[in-house]
């Protein structure tokens, strides 16, 4: 019986980010599960539409990917999401009636792996790392707060997580940075790709970017534009979730 895996992410319109953060993980899946048919899906209709219009590049949404599998006679189909939290975009996958793997932040073990193994660089007592998460009005937005708490539980007091569209904002984090007497902030995206949010909302010179907000508040700011998909530990977590899915252990 033919088997297939749909690797589904929100997507990105940035080619370099797509290759570094999405294709890298897809290639690892193809290498390990060479006897499966592997296909890509984006859950963002906006990004799919933009790529088609701008680049004449058409990428399946999750429903089309499933239908394509059926047309190819693939009867057993699994989905491994590359989403960060089990929010609205992740739920699009669960509505298909297929077996779906877990997103990045799901089990306590996922948080433990990230806190212990995702490099944060050398930070002195006057320096802090601020991650930009996407955030959501979904209940799963609490994952970002839990991640920050996980760093605290490990005795790491100078890593903070704020979100673009979630409950905890950069303004909230500014208050905490000042309380901790931080002088320098390293900004990094806590997103699969360093795409539009990271480049424009986080790192640009626009007045309302996170970099500009922090500079106005008197902080020295360093930018690291590297999506989570570039880090081996993140790739390994997604691969472990897929393995659990295929083995029926999740």
15 annotated as a binding-site residue: no
Residue 164 and residue 149: Cα distance in Å, rounded?
19
**123 close to 177: Cβ distance less than 8 angstroms:** no
90 annotated as ligand-binding: yes
134 appears as a binding residue in the annotation? yes
Q: Mark whether 83 is an active-site residue.
A: no
Q: Answer yes or no: is 85 a known binding residue.
A: yes
Which of 117, 134, 138, 241 is flagged as catalytic?
Answer: 134
222 annotated binding-site participant:
no
Any known ligand binding at 7? Answer: no
- Cα separation of 159 and 37, whole Å? 40
Q: Is 164 annotated as a binding residue?
A: no
**29/170 Cα distance (integer angstroms):** 35
User: Which among 39, 106, 92, 150 has a CA at the least distance from the CA of 245?
Assistant: 106
Helices 24-32 and 232-246, packing angle to 10 deg: 40
Count other Cβ atoms within 10 Å, centred on residue 114: 20
Tell whether residue 91 is among the known ligand binding residues: yes
Q: Specify binding-site residues for Co(2+).
A: 10, 134, 165, 197
Q: Specify binding-site residues for substrate.
A: 85-92, 192-193
Q: Specify binding-site residues.
A: 10, 85-92, 134, 165, 192-193, 197
Query: What positions carry a catalytic annotation?
Result: 134
């Amino acid at each position: 019986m033919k088997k297939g895996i749909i690797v589904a992410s929100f997507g990105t319109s940035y080619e370099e980010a797509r290759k570094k953060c999405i294709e890298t993980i897809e290639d690892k899946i193809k290498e390990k599960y060479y006897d499966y048919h592997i296909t890509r899906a984006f859950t963002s209709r906006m990004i799919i539409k933009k790529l088609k219009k701008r680049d004449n590049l058409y990428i399946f949404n999750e429903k089309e990917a499933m239908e394509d599998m059926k047309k190819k006679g693939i009867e057993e189909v699994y989905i491994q999401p590359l989403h960060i939290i089990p929010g609205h975009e992740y739920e699009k996958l669960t509505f298909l009636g297929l077996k779906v793997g877990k997103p990045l932040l799901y089990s306590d073990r996922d948080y433990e792996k990230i806190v212990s193994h995702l490099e944060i660089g050398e930070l002195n007592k006057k320096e802090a790392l601020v991650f930009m998460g996407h955030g959501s009005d979904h209940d799963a937005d609490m994952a970002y707060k839990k991640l920050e708490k996980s760093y605290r539980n490990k005795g790491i007091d100078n890593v903070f997580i704020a979100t673009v569209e979630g409950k905890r904002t950069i303004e909230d984090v500014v208050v905490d940075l000042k309380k901790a007497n931080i002088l320098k902030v390293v900004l990094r995206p806590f997103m699969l790709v360093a795409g539009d949010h990271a480049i424009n909302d986080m790192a640009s010179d626009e007045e309302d970017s996170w970099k500009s907000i922090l500079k106005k508040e008197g902080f020295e700011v360093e930018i690291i534009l590297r999506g989570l998909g570039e880090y081996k530990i993140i790739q390994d977590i997604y691969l472990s979730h897929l393995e659990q899915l295929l083995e029926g252990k999740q």
